[in-house]
């Protein structure tokens, strides 16, 4: 399938420059992405990397100062890798004589002192405390200091259970230190907020046989213990293995993991109330549908556990798509690799595509974008029927007319159908919604009449066809489902496509064969755009090649200059060196000869 990688070349020490263009840049071989419209905001966990916080900007290494109003402790957090590492550092370094509790919630940090006036400030002009969302120079007393949302980004190892919401939770803190218990709902959402968790001394309970029970009204999780003898680990096991099961799980606070939960729990432990639950659970059971080149692929995510699993399943589905995390780390982008074909993503009976923000046909889809930009026809004439565009007839014979004038989105069309006075005048009214399987507008008629649910074009308007409710070339569409309720599912008229040479040529052939003037005009415009893009890419590639040539010439010149400089400093003229050596050699020989002759002189030479 190829990829969109660039080939870098070294142009200097530690300096790389791209030397190529990939195919999709030149020919438009991959479509524009279906950009996830939902911010998949992962919850903060003990193992979240500090580098992934604040939308991927991370935390500046530095120190923070924590004070109780009397004593101040400077804590260097530069060695922490995860938010859990940082929580341990803060917990282990309270002001003198104080106990500092640190809780990692689904969004940020919560700090609390057992006395004094808790404050957190910067050290030496740093910004670490601010970036951690816990800077508070005035102090909060003994109340919790609730940190700001740290907004971690999406990563390949992000669990799917953590992308659409947070579980309601509470931390039980027995009087004996080192036995804190974190209790969380089994599913994300607000349903289990406000549940009181309390302990009761039950004389019939032996250590290791504690009993956990849940009552929805009033919402309460009750744990029967042997006060002073039951251990924290016994309480955890009682909740996790309760019969019947309770909608909560329990674990030891990671800070207290070294204790192993061996400390005891008694009824003096103050009750706590769950909070922080939000969002919904991810619907991995239904999966989604991808339609590409006329083939619909049902994608199951039942076995997926992480974002990486989702990407692997999509990319390996055979649907001809490329899925990846977007550049901002907030969602998933999906693109088509198949040119000359329509591409869409729809539901498979659930909410998976919508939750991932990948559904291509939604209530927010603009009518002007339907049918590859042709939009929806709006009859504005003055026929006896007025300017209406189509009629819907329920099985009980009740019919009402729809005028699309002024509608901007699919949601506007659904509202006009659902809120039509005639439709609402008799019960049960017809319901217009998005298709539960695939894409399109779906009409559901529960009136249980003897007739058939139909949609009919009026005034020769093509609005019903453009909305997918009536097939092209026909004036009426009827439900074929066994009812009641009777269901009429429209076609998907918001297909996406690869914008490039091959798609333009394919659309041009199709338009010519069907004598579709609009399709031919659109294909020619796309071909012109692709040609212009090719010229720009040729120019860009030429500029890159020229840059590399200039850099190569510069490097060659630098090498020549370097050799010249080295030659002047270290090289020698061979002729001059030989001449000097010969002269010095002769002088040396003459000196030796003179010295030898002087050594032979005696007194007789002077007589």
Per residue in 289-317, pLDDT (tens digit) is 999 999 999 999 999 999 999 999 999 99
Asked if residues 346 and 361 have their Cβ atoms less than 8 Å apart, the reply is yes
Is 477 part of a structural domain of the chain? Answer: yes
Structural domain contains residue 507: no
Task: Tell me the pLDDT band of 502, cut-offs 50, 70 and 90.
Answer: confident
Gyration radius from the chain CA atoms: 38
Q: Are residues 141 and 179 in the same domain?
A: no
For the chain, the domain total comes to 4
Considering the domain architecture, whether residues 386 and 485 belong to the same structural domain is answered as: yes
Give the end of a domain, one of 279, 300, 316: 279
pLDDT of residue 485 exceeding 90, the answer is yes
- 177 in the same domain as 131: no
- The residue among 489, 514, 529 that closes a domain is 489
Q: Which of 252, 279, 306 is the last residue of a domain?
A: 279
Q: Is the CB of residue 390 less than 8 Å from the CB of residue 399?
A: no
Q: Does the residue 500 lie in any domain?
A: no
pLDDT of 575 over the 70 cut: yes
Residue 25, phi then psi, degrees to nearest 5: -70, -35
On whether both 218 and 274 belong to a single domain, the answer is: yes
Instruction: Give the percent of the chain with pLDDT over 90.
Output: 69
Of the pLDDT bands very low, low, confident and very high (cuts 50, 70, 90), residue 338 is confident
Q: Is the pLDDT of residue 146 over 80?
A: yes
Specify if 29 maps to a domain.
Answer: no
pLDDT tops 70 at residue 378: yes
300 domain residue, yes or no: no
Same domain, 183 and 110: no
- Tell me: do 454 and 390 sit in the same domain: yes
pTM of the model: 0.82
- Are residue 188 and residue 142 in the same domain, yes or no? no
The mean per-residue pLDDT over the stretch 149-157 comes to 96
Please name the residues in contact with 132: beta carbons below 8 A apart, sequence gap of 6 or more.
Answer: 59, 64, 86, 109, 147, 150
pLDDT in tens, 509-565: 888 888 888 888 888 888 888 777 777 777 777 777 777 778 778 878 878 888 888
141 pLDDT more than 70 = yes
State the Cα torsion 237-243-248-253 to the nearest 10°: -10
Residue 599 to residue 66: CA distance in whole angstroms: 93
Residue 6 pLDDT level (bands cut at 50, 70, 90):
low
Shared domain for 375 and 484, answered yes or no, is yes
361, 409 contact by CB (below 8 A): no
Residue 567 falls inside a structural domain = no
Helix (H, G, I), strand (E, B) or coil at 183: strand
Residue with the larger pLDDT of the pair 564 and 357: 357
Q: What is the pLDDT of residue 27?
A: 57
Which tens digit of pLDDT belongs to each residue from 393-449? 999 999 999 999 999 999 999 999 999 999 999 889 999 999 999 999 999 999 989
Residue 4 belongs to a domain: no
Which comes out higher in pLDDT, residue 483 or 188? Answer: 188
Give the structural domain span for 424. 370-489
* Domain co-membership, 135 together with 58: yes
Residue 448 CB neighbour total at 10 angstroms: 13
One domain for residues 116 and 187: no
Q: What is the pLDDT, as a whole number, of residue 24?
A: 62
Say if 402 falls within a structural domain: yes
Residues 100 and 172 in one domain: no
The pLDDT mean for the chain works out to 90
Q: 87 and 170 share a domain?
A: no
pLDDT at 479: 93
Compute how many other C-beta atoms are within 10 angstroms of the C-beta atom of residue 578.
10
Question: Sorting pLDDT into bands at 50, 70 and 90, what band is 584?
Answer: confident
């Amino acid at each position: 399938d190829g990829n969109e990688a660039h080939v870098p070349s070294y142009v200097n020490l530690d300096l790389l420059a791209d030397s190529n263009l990939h195919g999709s840049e030149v020919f438009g071989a991959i479509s524009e992405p279906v950009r996830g419209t939902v911010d998949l905001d992962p919850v903060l966990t003990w193992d979240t990397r500090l580098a992934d916080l604040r939308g991927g900007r991370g935390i500046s290494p530095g120190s923070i100062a924590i004070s109780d109003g009397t004593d101040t402790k400077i804590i260097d957090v530069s060695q922490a890798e995860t938010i859990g590492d940082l929580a341990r550092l803060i917990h282990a370094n309270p002001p003198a004589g104080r106990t500092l509790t640190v809780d990692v919630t689904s969004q940020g940090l919560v700090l609390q002192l057992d006395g004094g006036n808790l404050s957190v400030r910067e050290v030496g002009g740093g910004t670490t405390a601010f970036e951690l969302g816990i800077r508070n120079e005035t102090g909060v007393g003994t109340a919790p200091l609730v940190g700001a949302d740290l907004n971690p980004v999406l990563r390949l190892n992000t669990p799917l259970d953590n992308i659409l919401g947070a579980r309601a939770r509470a931390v039980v803190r027995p009087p004996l230190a080192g036995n804190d218990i974190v209790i969380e709902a089994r599913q994300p959402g607000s349903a289990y907020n406000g549940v009181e968790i309390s302990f009761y001394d039950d004389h019939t309970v032996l250590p290791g046989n504690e009993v956990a029970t849940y009552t929805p009204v009033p919402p309460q999780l009750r744990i029967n213990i042997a006060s002073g003898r039951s251990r924290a680990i016994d309480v955890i096991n009682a909740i996790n293995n309760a019969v019947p099961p309770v909608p909560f799980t329990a674990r030891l606070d990671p800070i207290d993991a070294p204790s192993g939960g061996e400390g005891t729990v008694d009824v003096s432990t103050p009750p706590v109330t769950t909070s922080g639950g939000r969002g919904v659970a991810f619907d991995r059971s239904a999966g989604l549908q991808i339609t590409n080149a006329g083939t619909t692929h049902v994608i199951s995510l039942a076995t997926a556990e992480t974002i990486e699993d989702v990407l692997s399943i999509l990319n390996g589905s055979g649907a001809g798509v490329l899925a990846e995390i977007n550049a901002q780390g907030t969602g998933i982008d999906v693109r088509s690799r198949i040119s000359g074909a329509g591409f869409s993503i729809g539901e498979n009976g659930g909410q998976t595509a919508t939750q991932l923000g990948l559904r291509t046909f939604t209530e927010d889809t603009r009518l002007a974008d339907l049918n590859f930009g042709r939009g929806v026809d709006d009859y504005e004439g003055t026929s006896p029927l007025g300017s209406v565009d189509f009629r819907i007839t329920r099985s009980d014979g009740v019919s009402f007319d729809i005028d699309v004038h002024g509608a901007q989105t699919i949601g506007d069309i659904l509202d006009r159908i659902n809120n039509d006075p005639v439709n609402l005048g008799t019960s049960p009214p017809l319901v217009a919604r998005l298709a539960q399987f695939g894409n399109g507008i779906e009409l559901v008629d529960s009136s249980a009449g003897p007739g058939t649910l139909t949609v009919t074009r009026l005034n020769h308007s093509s609005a019903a066809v453009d909305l997918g409710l009536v097939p092209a070339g026909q004036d009426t569409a009827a439900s074929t489902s066994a009812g009641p309720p009777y269901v009429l599912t429209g076609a998907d008229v918001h297909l996406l496509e690869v914008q490039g040479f091959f798609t333009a040529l394919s659309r041009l052939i199709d338009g010519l064969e069907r004598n579709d003037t609009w399709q031919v005009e659109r294909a020619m415009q796309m071909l012109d755009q692709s040609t212009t893009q090719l010229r720009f890419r040729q120019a860009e590639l030429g500029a890159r090649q020229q840059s590399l040539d200039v850099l190569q010439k510069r490097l060659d010149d630098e090498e020549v200059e370097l050799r010249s400089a080295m030659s002047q400093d270290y090289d020698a003229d061979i002729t001059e060196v030989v001449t000097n050596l010969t002269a010095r050699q002769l002088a040396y020989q003459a000196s030796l000869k003179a010295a030898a002759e002087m050594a032979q002189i005696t007194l007789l030479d002077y007589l």
